[in-house]
Structure 1
């Protein structure tokens, strides 16, 4: 990891490994910001982006355990606006090329990114993402939205495919956050604070960074050459003191809005790998977590991105699931469950190896970058 910092590919990195719930290796590399060269601190705050999705999925499954919904409950029973969305025909050339909904969207499909939603930016030339951007529901154009208004706009757009027939990374977890609000009667941030963060002592996890903590907030950088991920050179992409995280947002994004520290997030992960409980606080039953780690996609459907290779991967309820080891990985990597954030905050849990890996930086984009694969291979080589 130090090599990546020395080559100006990463500004910083935290690498942590657990065996069971015990930390067996932990190191920090690089800087809070490149301008001052202030060393990265152990209490540094990171933009978690899509690591937020795991927290949101756990929150929703807590409500599922309470009886708020079954996995095959139609989404429209909780959010009526999604009762009758139209669906783009296969190979549609415009949003006028539609077909009727064949079956209702279910909560299982929302949790597994198989409901038919999109994200609005991953395939910007696609018919569906262009429709999202035009309607202002892209994750890149969320100013002034709330979870409620985001879902209202989203419900007016067609689905990218018939629910349950494909997989597409999407705003589904933001829809899930709105479900949490409706089912609990609380704002999403209040639910997370009351039911997860405060009980686990996650005092630095929130949707913004208050002024008194901004000196601990890492600067985010972007590569000078987006198309060559291993080429050095970084430019500032978000300033800790002036960026959007410096004030409470209107959109409490369940798909990518949280900031956190390694210590906070590892506490949360300990509860996950420990069967749903940590420090006397139970989030979920072991059987529920087992279900979350079980493939929910139809036969033949796998996780696919247009810009990243993620072979032999399916999806559970909030987690990607590895069906076969990756290159240079042992058989114990099979059944690994994981997800990460766009700025390079990666977490993975390997039950067969009894290992958990956490590798965080602040590079946009930094998801599925070689640094995270190198870290994982080194961990498996040493401990797996």
Structure 2
């Protein structure tokens, strides 16, 4: 990789900070298992004038989803279930499901339907949704505050509450970003007999050496926990009513008062706090086929996860939801998106790139063709505020010369 071209990444990051788009940010890039670039700039806490450093702890939100998906596949490798099992086998509240009729005008217009399977949940084709998506089901979820926030525990109660609602569509017929992975977090608890926090700590985070990643900010990282900012005038996650505010960096979660300091909800869809070096260990585990110091999965299982599990790309599945990635030319595996045609994504990349991001604009991808892993951290919600992910991929690919 060309060092001069890599240096463009730091300049790009500094422009984001100088123009008050991001408070601060950091990036780590590894090629063939060796670090080739790191840069950090800006502030993790503007109000207290604290720098955004390499060891800053951040909310990774939906970058928790790949971790939960790995947990599910670890249990599947042990023969404890198969992916076509209905979720009601583990969570009885999901028996006798209904879904909204096509063109339904209210939440009561439903018909009986199939119960989602574990595979439907893993691939966001379950019929579940998120409160910040458009539509009838998201509106009800929003009214009932079903966002799996860190202060909304315990997990079991919220999952059973979701099960009381109809699905937005017949499982398997569409793709819609959803709380599906939170439901899978509860499946991990039921099957393993451990809380999700215990399973993560004992079987994923601990073995990988991710000692500063958890659902509550680790004691060792509390003096390095970042504030969360938004350019919106209202709720940083209320995408249906999003309006730009006069202040581009308005603090919406003070690190000294954050509910993440003592989380009661173990959200497998968006609850983890961590550092960039910790997450690079997870990304490298995926790139290396399931092993980084300890083996979590077989290479065959990781290769299976990294395949496209949809009939085509996400765009062909009629999504009406927010998503962390482009939808054209992009498929979805188990835990993240998969590039199936780089040209159609309009973002430089390789076939097989596996990636996902979080609502606070964090992002990672691993590239099996270039043996590349990239992790980018900042703290600005929503992640759709700026085209940083596409720009970062172009910058990284522009630095690869052999």
Same fold (TM over 0.5): yes
Shift of 1:298: 3.0
Shift of 1:130: 1.8
Partner of 2:356: 339
- Report the TM-score when normalising by structure 2: 0.88
Partner of 2:8: none
Larger mean Cα displacement after TM superposition, 58-67 or 359-368: 359-368
- Superposed CA deviations along residues 212-268 of structure 1, whole A, max 9, x for unmatched, are 532100111111576569x98311111111111121x22100000000001111111
**1:296 matched to 2:314:** no
Q: Is the 8 A contact 1:50 1:340 kept in 2?
A: yes
Residue 65 of structure 2 aligns to a residue in which SS? Answer: helix
Partner of 2:122: 111
Partner of 1:265: 279
CA distance in 2, matches of 1:357, 1:304: 29
Partner of 2:386: 369
CA distance in 2, matches of 1:44, 1:220: 12
CA distance in 2, matches of 1:198, 1:311: 37
Shift of 1:369: 2.9
Aligned residues: 376
CA distance in 2, matches of 1:349, 1:304: 27
| C-alpha RMSD of the superposition | 2.2
Query: Do the aligned partners of residues 211 and 276 (structure 1) sit closer, same or farther apart at CA in structure 2, a change above 3 Å counting?
Result: closer
Q: Is the 8 A contact 1:302 1:313 kept in 2?
A: no
**1:255 matched to 2:255:** no
- Report the TM-score when normalising by structure 1: 0.92
**1:242 matched to 2:246:** no
Shift of 1:276: 0.3
Show structure 2 runs of 5+ residues with no match.
1-12, 234-241
**1:121 matched to 2:132:** yes
Matches for 1:119-268 after TM superposition, within 5 Å: 119-123=130-134, 126-139=135-148, 143-210=151-218, 212-223=220-231, 233-247=248-262, 249-268=263-282
Shift of 1:144: 3.8
Show structure 1 runs of 5+ residues with no match.
none
- Superposed CA deviations along residues 116-140 of structure 1, whole A, max 9, x for unmatched, are 11112222xx211122234442346
Larger mean Cα displacement after TM superposition, 211-220 or 175-184: 211-220
Residue 376 of structure 1 aligns to a residue in which SS? Answer: helix
Q: Is the 8 A contact 1:302 1:315 kept in 2?
A: no
